[in-house]
Amino acid sequence: MLRLLQTSDLHLGARNVDLGEAAATLRDRRFAAFERALALAISEKVNLVLIVGDLFDTNEVTRGLVTRVAAGLAGLATAGIRTVILPGDHDRAGSASVYRAFDLGALAGAPDSVTILDPLAGPAGDLSLPELGLTLTARFPAPELHDDRWRIGLVHRQARPRDDEIAGAGVDYLAVGGPHEESSGVAADVAWGASGAPDPVDPGRDRSGEVILVRLDERGDRRSVSVERHRVGSTRYEALALDLGGFADDGALEAAIAARADGGAGADLILDVHLSGAWSDALEADPDALEARLRPRFLGLRIRSDGSPALTGGAIPPAETVGGAYIRDLEARIANPVEGDLPVDELREALRLGRQLLIAGSDR
């Protein structure tokens, strides 16, 4: 029986400029998930660790990061565990590859325990491990790969290959990197598994934050593969859509967003808020101000708005008053926009401000 720990899409060293101050925290959390994956490999006494692409977020990472990764791999080597790494989309193989700029095995002090599989090398790039009774290949498919060992393929793609491609891969098990969510299955007699990202790297991926343990069993001439999920990540991404028409004042709006951080939940949460709809004059609904006030409660917070101030409801002051004339003029321009006038969203903002300045407190 052989056991492998499989991970991919760690995206270490990502700059995440859109996340502002949270970016550095997020990098630390991703690295922590990587370290938890390695600790799991050691405690589970696996035979092999597979990293199926996008270990690094870019080929231009710092020596400091590569050195920290190498130290982790050195820990595996000390425990007698070999690591096999496939370059991905972000840490692409080729002349500019991070794996050419740095020799991870040498940095780990264990050149025999760390292998970079070159997807461009053809059959010569296959890795034969007779002591484990398996052969690994980065070729996809590798239909001529016939030996009586376990044959394991590694492939990195944005979406998992189709069933007919997997069925013709020429392997017993296909390790898939690229999809950021966990999934696994069998196509014809080929088992496949994708671990997803060990710490979630983007929104809308419920099955991420995990690594998988792959078990290869042989009884007589019957081979079976099973996949077991293990959580190592903690970051969560959520989206929150709010209709501004449902809020009586800014306090209520702020409370609705803040509620997502209740019970300390904000510490692990990157929340993406989308405000829409028409808001009443009782609200400022300023996304930047809300974001500044609420950001400390979350790991990351983004608030976007494409809402607009409400048109004037209820009775309008008489047309001969300044306020009444102003509102009638703007309502008409909003209802029948003409070329050369201000954009409608600016007219609506002018309408809102006018209502506040000219008729606030009146009995309209």
Interface with Mn ion by CB under 5 A: which residues? Answer: 9, 54
Residue 9 or 210 with smaller CB distance to Mn ion: 9
Q: How far is the CB of 177 from Mn ion (least distance, A)?
A: 7
Say how many Å lie between the first and final Cα of the chain, rounded: 81
Q: How far is the CB of 86 from Mn ion (least distance, A)?
A: 12
Contact 194, 216 (CB under 8 A): no
Residue 172 or 181 with smaller CB distance to Mn ion: 181
Residue 52 or 116 with smaller CB distance to Mn ion: 52
Angle between helices 322-335 and 344-359 (to 10 degrees): 160
Q: How far is the CB of 130 from Mn ion (least distance, A)?
A: 32
Contact 89, 158 (CB under 8 A): yes
Q: CA-to-CA distance for 290 and 266, rounded, in angstroms?
A: 15
Token pair for 17: 């400029």
Q: How far is the CB of 344 from Mn ion (least distance, A)?
A: 40
Q: How far is the CB of 158 from Mn ion (least distance, A)?
A: 8
Q: How far is the CB of 179 from Mn ion (least distance, A)?
A: 8
Q: CA-to-CA distance for 27 and 22, rounded, in angstroms?
A: 9
Q: CA-to-CA distance for 74 and 54, rounded, in angstroms?
A: 20
Residue 33 or 301 with smaller CB distance to Mn ion: 33
Residue 9 or 199 with smaller CB distance to Mn ion: 9
Indicate the SS3 state at residue 344. helix
Contact 311, 334 (CB under 8 A): yes
Indicate the SS3 state at residue 164. helix
Place of tokens 């609904």: 285
Residue 99 or 150 with smaller CB distance to Mn ion: 99
